[in-house]
Structure formats: structure tokens, C-alpha cells
Amino acid sequence: MVLDEATGLTRAAAPLCQLENDLGQHENPAVGSPGELAMSRVLLIEDDRQTADEIVAELVDRGFQVEWAATGIEGLDKARIGDADVMIVDRLLPGIDGLTIIEVVRQEHIRTPVLVLSALGAVDDRVRGLRAGGDDYLTKPFAILELIARIEALLRRPSENRDTMLRVGPLELDLISRTAKRGDRPIDLLPREFRLLEYMMRRKDQLLTRAMLFEEVWSYKFVPQSNLVDVHMGRLRRKVDGSDEQPMIHSVRGEGFVLRAPA
């Protein structure tokens, strides 16, 4: 995999090896502004102890409060209280099936965002998970950063604001005239690049994984074999970040991309 390492953010995978401490805070791209999401409550319903332990440890490291339920019944009880900010629900659970939990919770008008985890990767299954009321779907096995990125995306879901102008630092995107500017420099974007930039600007400071981008911006259901997203992102980056400008699009090696205002 050929990835752009120019941004110096190559240490992003570090939390996976528990080496986080010797990194500068700003270099942890998944938690762009730690104060904002810390103390968010996560309800994890997952029957496999080892998987659950990994997820809990990672989330706690990132300042989340995690509650873990090992069975469907316990999970449903906790979910019904409705005090979690986000739920992670495994599909196959002893007792009550994960999708049933989501359906019941939704019937009780609890709108907590749900990330469905599943060992079943079929497209149909994904559709079923989302139809039951899940907000996102992740297939096992997954990279832990992919999970974190999706949890954070769910927590910071962009409000449906009617702004016609998006701004991140010097970057401006006019949704009506379909034009982009960085400072005074106009940026000429192809339609697909425009959609990509819009998606990123709505989710500034968030780690956006390749899979997320491919699903959301390109809305394709398959995982491409080539480094498609990287190449498209590379083009966008050349347009957004001029040679004498501070970079705004950062790649996180092996994981994805972050759009951030220059310091």
C-alpha cells in the first residue's frame, strides 16, 4: 500500500501497540479535540469477552465511559434506560438477537445512535442491520481505529444545518454556487471532489477511514482492490494544499484521512 506520509502522522497506528503516551496529543488524529467527546457514554453489547475487553480498553484510553453487557437480555435492559450516547451492538448474541434489541429500542423512541457489529459480511446483512434501526455497520474482524472512527462519527453526526457555506480555517465551500476557495485562491473541483471535500468539511478534525469515505462519498458497497480512495484524495489534496501553504488534509497511515484547520 503506497500512502502519503508527508504529513508526519505516520504514528497513528501507535495506540494499537499501546505506545500512545510518548506521542504528542495533537498527533492522535482520531480524537481531534479530546474534551469534546470525552465522558461520552458508550454501551457495548458483545458476548465475546476478549473482543469486548479490547474495545473497552481502547475506548477507556480515549476517555469514554464504557458499559459492557455480555448477553442480549442484559444489553436490552441497559439499552432501554437510554442514557448512553452511542451503542455498539453485536448481531449474534446469546438470549436476544442484536437486531431485535435495536428494533425494540427504536420502538421505544430511544434515538441513541447504534453501530452494528457482525461476523456476517454479506451486503444483505448490512442492509438488514441498517433497516432494523442501526446507524452504521461494521464487519468483523475490524481494525480498532475503524471502530473508533465510526463511533466518533456517530457521536458528532453533523447537525442538519441549512448553512449554504461551509468553513474550515481559510477553506470555504459554497454549496449553492458549487465553488471552493482557500483564502483568496479559488479551487477548481470536479463534482466528485466537491462531494468529497464537503463530506470532510462537515466532519473536520475526525478520522475518516477509507471504507467510510468509499461508502459515504462514492456510495459503493464493495471494497476496491486498488488504493482508489488514496489516489482521489491525493488529487484533492494537491488542489486544497498549495505548495507554499500549510497542509490541511492529513493522511493517517493505514487508516484514513483528517481535515484540519492549519494551526
Partner 1 sequence: MVKGSFSVRLPEFARTTTFRWTLAISGAFTLCVILMFVFVLGEEYSYLSSDVDRLNSENARLVTAETKENRVRRLNEYLQNDPRRVKLGGLFDSDGNRIAGNIENLPATLQTDSSPTDVSLIRVDAFGRDRQLARTIAHRLDDRSILVVGRNVQQFTWIVGVVRRALTLGLIPALCLGLMAGALLSVRGQKRIDAVNRKVQRIVDGELRERLPTRGTNDPFDKLAVLVNGMLDEIESLVRRLAGVGDDIAHDLRTPLTRVRVSLERACQKAGSLDELRASVDKAIVGLDQSLAIITALLRIAEIEHSRQVDGFRDVALADLVREVGDLYEPIAEDKKVDFAVKAKEDATVHGDRDLLFEAVANLVDNAVKFTPQGGHVELSLLRKGNEAVVRVCDSGPGIPIGESDLVMRRFYRSDKSRCDPGLGLGLSLVNAIVKLHGFDFRISSGPGCVAEIAGRSADA
Q: How far is the CB of 73 from partner 1 (least distance, A)?
A: 30
Q: What is the largest CA-CA distance in the chain?
A: 60
Specify the residue, 96 or 142, whose C-beta has the smaller distance to partner 1.
Answer: 142
Nearer to partner 1, 14 or 104 (CB): 14
Secondary element (H or E) of residue 175: none
Residue 11 vs 106, nearer CB to partner 1: 11
Shortest distance, position 222 Cβ to partner 1, whole Å? 5
Least Å distance, CB 236 to partner 1, is: 10
HSE-CB of 117 using CA atoms within 13 angstroms? 25
Dig out the grid coordinates for 152 from the structure. Answer: 466518533
* Structural contact between residues 129 and 140, judged by C-beta atoms closer than 8 angstroms: no
- 24 vs 141, which CB is nearer to partner 1? 141
How many CB atoms are located within 10 Å of the residue 145 CB? 21
Minimal distance in Å, beta carbon 221 to partner 1? Answer: 5
Specify the DSSP element, H or E, that contains 192. Answer: helix 191-202
The answer to whether residues 82 and 60 touch, using CB atoms and an 8 Å cutoff, is no
Q: How far is CA 91 from the centre of its chain?
A: 20
For the bound state, the minimum distance from the C-beta of residue 263 to partner 1, rounded and expressed in Å, comes to: 24
Q: Which is nearer to partner 1, 26 or 220 (CB)?
A: 220
Which chain residues interact with partner 1 by CB under 8 A?
Answer: 1, 11, 13-14, 16-17, 19, 22, 121-124, 139, 141, 143, 192, 218, 220-228, 231-232, 234-235, 253-254
Amino acid identity, residue 220?
Y
Contact between residue 261 and residue 169 where contact means Cβ atoms under 8 Å apart? yes
- Cβ 125 to partner 1 shortest distance, Å: 9
Please, what is the minimum distance in Å from the beta carbon of residue 39 to partner 1?
A: 30
Q: What is the DSSP string of 61-85?
A: HTT-EEEEE-SHHHHHHHHHH---S
Dihedral (CA of 34, 35, 38, 40) sign: negative
Closer of 65 and 227 to partner 1 (Cβ): 227
| Cell numbers placing 47 | 458476548
Query: Which CB, 81 or 122, lies closer to partner 1?
Result: 122
Closest to 230 in 3D by CA, of 214, 241, 216: 214
